[in-house]
């Protein structure tokens, strides 16, 4: 969340530094493509918990601080945020106070929404700054001349017992994820506290979330007249013929699974019939201590238009038609007046970790009549 916020700050006028940050984030997403949130049964919880943190003068260019926070009900994660503060703060106590005010406002808004649904709840805000908690627990600004008094409304909320401020250790504050870059071990600790974990690949439940009955492979098949691609999943270590052949010539790609969870893939641009293995065909190399699991997924696109998918395949092999496949294919719409070409970008969707870039289908817009 913090990395995305830092990239979004440079969308108006990106620099070379933002390009390096984007590439670094892309390298992270190669191994950690998604975040899994767990919502286990926990009964009826009446307390909304907020976690607040800030990174004082974290921006080296502007000197502004970053406010981060998270809201939870029991062990369920509700929302999180990471934003750059509007003004430059003169002390870390002021930066923590602004982050505490932001978290308190979000928590009160969540309680108000729950009250509209007929659920009464209480609110507790945790912060790791003793100075910010001391300001929130007192009355007035006192000798604090550099603090904006508009941020002291949380003193009134606490006096009315609408909020409760508590102390938390800085190493146990999950809001630290939203304020600065952290090491992988610290990230995993905070992810576990927020009932989240990092995963590679794609979720099986994410195959049918597009909300459309017609897949893009069906659109492509209708436009080109070719059959949909096929995906063959087997175990090349357990089968007696790892280099078995397909009845027809095909092009496509093969994905191999390793013990570290990172898939290795090769692309077959030339026509072939034999299935590939990572040893004698593409000669893929693994790091020390990593071994092949034997799981192989071959995404083949038949060159001929007629194909019998079950012919010549062993019974241990699982064969099905892939819903979509990756790569841009030029499609010629014959119903257009001048035969304009449009590109249909689709993605491979299977139980293995392929590509998960968002898909888009473009339809020709020419030939419309003007109204009036």
Residue 223 φ then ψ, to 5°: -80, -35
> DSSP 3-state assignment of 283?
coil
pLDDT of residue 281: 56
Give whole-number Cα distances, 86 to 45, 64, 298, in Å: 34, 8, 52
pLDDT of residue 187: 92
Whether this model's pTM surpasses 0.75: no
pLDDT of residue 304: 59
pLDDT of residue 287: 86
Max CA distance (Å), the chain: 85
pLDDT of residue 255: 86
Quote the tokens at residue 320: 């099905």
What domains does the chain contain, in order, with CATH numbers? Answer: 32-199 (3.30.420.10), 206-361 (no CATH)
Whole-number Å distance between alpha carbons of 165 and 347: 48
Whole-number Å distance between alpha carbons of 341 and 362: 10
Whole-number Å distance between alpha carbons of 13 and 261: 37
201-243 tens-digit pLDDT: 776 655 554 444 445 444 444 444 445 678 888 888 888 888 8
Ordered per-residue pLDDT tens for the chain, 372 residues: 899 999 999 999 999 999 999 999 999 888 888 889 999 888 888 899 999 999 998 888 899 999 999 999 999 999 999 999 999 998 999 999 999 999 999 999 999 999 999 999 999 999 999 999 999 988 887 777 778 878 889 988 988 889 999 999 999 999 999 999 999 899 999 999 999 998 887 766 555 544 444 454 444 444 444 456 788 888 888 888 888 888 888 888 888 888 888 888 888 888 888 888 887 655 678 888 888 888 888 888 887 544 444 444 443 444 444 444 343 434 343 444 443 333 333 333 333 444 444 444 344 444 444 444
Whole-number Å distance between alpha carbons of 83 and 109: 18
Quote the tokens at residue 179: 């304020």
pLDDT of residue 282: 58
Whole-number Å distance between alpha carbons of 3 and 22: 9
pLDDT of residue 302: 84
pLDDT of residue 125: 96
Contact between residue 331 and residue 342 where contact means Cβ atoms under 8 Å apart: yes
Strand 164-167 with 122-127, pairing? parallel
| Residue located via tokens 């100075």 | 131
Q: Give the number of residues written for the chain.
A: 372
């Amino acid at each position: 969340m913090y990395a995305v916020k830092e990239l979004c700050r440079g969308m108006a006028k990106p620099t070379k530094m933002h390009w390096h940050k984007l590439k670094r984030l892309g390298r992270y997403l190669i191994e950690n493509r998604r975040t899994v949130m767990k919502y286990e049964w926990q009964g009826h919880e009446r307390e909304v918990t907020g976690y607040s943190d800030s990174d004082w003068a974290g921006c080296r260019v502007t000197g502004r601080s970053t406010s981060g926070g998270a809201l939870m009900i029991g062990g369920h994660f509700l929302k999180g945020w990471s934003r750059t503060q509007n003004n430059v703060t003169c002390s870390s106590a002021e930066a923590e106070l602004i982050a505490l005010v932001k978290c308190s406002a979000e928590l009160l808004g969540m309680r108000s929404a729950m009250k509209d649904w007929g659920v009464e709840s209480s609110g507790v805000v945790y912060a790791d700054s003793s100075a910010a908690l001391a300001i929130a627990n007192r009355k007035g600004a006192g000798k604090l001349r550099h603090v904006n008094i508009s941020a002291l409304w949380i003193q009134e909320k606490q006096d009315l017992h609408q909020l409760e401020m508590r102390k938390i250790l800085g190493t146990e504050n999950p809001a630290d994820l939203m304020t600065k870059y952290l090491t992988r071990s610290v990230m995993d600790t905070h992810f576990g506290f927020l009932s989240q974990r990092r995963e590679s690949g794609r979720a099986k439940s994410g195959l049918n979330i597009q909300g459309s009955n017609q897949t893009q492979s069906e659109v492509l098949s209708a436009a080109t007249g070719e059959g949909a691609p096929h995906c063959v999943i087997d175990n090349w270590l357990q089968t007696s013929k790892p280099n078995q052949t397909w009845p027809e010539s095909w092009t496509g790609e093969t994905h191999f699974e390793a013990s570290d969870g990172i898939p290795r893939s090769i692309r077959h641009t030339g026509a072939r019939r034999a299935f590939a293995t990572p040893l004698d065909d593409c000669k893929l190399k693994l790091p020390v201590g990593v071994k092949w699991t034997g799981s192989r997924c071959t995404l083949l696109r038949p060159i001929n238009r007629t194909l019998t998918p079950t012919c010549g395949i062993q019974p241990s092999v699982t064969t099905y038609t892939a819903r979509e496949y990756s790569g841009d294919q030029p499609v010629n719409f014959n119903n257009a007046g001048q035969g304009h070409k449009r590109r249909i970008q689709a993605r491979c969707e299977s139980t293995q970790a392929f590509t998960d870039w968002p898909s888009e289908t473009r339809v020709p817009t020419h030939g419309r009549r003007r109204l009036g």
